Chain A
């Protein structure tokens, strides 16, 4: 089974509107971390936001917020007030298990969602 599922290959949003990018995950671990990355056409992966499995509050970073619904195993990314520069691929990722000192837990990535912001 896929560990990270992103069901939206592509999304369109009007500039200044909000958009939600879906992500569901599958793990039997109690401790895990969820990440969202943005990949513009240049190729670099830009870290956006992190949510720990034990975090009670939804993570927020500026215009980015993570709608974390643990029972549904979903971690949707909400981008508010979309800007033209938000057009990019967005990847949801998960780290399973506890954070260990050596930081050796690898990430599982979803297939990504291409967001296009329309002026």
Chain B
């Protein structure tokens, strides 16, 4: 199988601080990684597509200055929530595209962010 890790799994921070979430593909290289947000009892909402070595593509309504994405290597993408506020509290989950004939995305375990 394909393994994707995400760190931290849970973070609690004060309003106004920045939080960085890491997404790593452990046993394959991922040219493309995706960042999703999931509200309780809802489906996944795509935030942005992260391509190695280039700027991320953000979905409509997602503030690129608030959610900074960096994809510096083929195995690591980071999402930084800048100046977090309580409304940013959510479950953030990344996926890595393994490519190949099916283009399957493998997901990390997610990060639960709580902003006080």
Q: Mark B36-78, 1 if CB is under 8 A from A, else 0.
A: 0000001110100101000000000000000000000000000
A68 within 8 A of B: no
Contacts of B86 in A (CB 8 A): none
Which A residues fall within an 8 A CB radius of B?
33, 35, 37, 42-47, 50, 52, 91, 95, 99, 101-107, 109-112
Which B residues fall within an 8 A CB radius of A?
30-32, 34, 42-44, 46, 49, 51, 91, 93, 95, 97-110, 112
Determine the main DSSP class of A at the interface with B.
loop
A102 contact from B32, B43, B102, B110, Cβ within 8 A: B32
Contact check, B31 vs A102: say whether CB atoms are below 8 A apart. Answer: yes
Contacts of B91 in A (CB 8 A): 43
Q: Which residue of A lies closest to B9 (CB)?
A: A43
Contact check, B98 vs A103: say whether CB atoms are below 8 A apart. Answer: yes
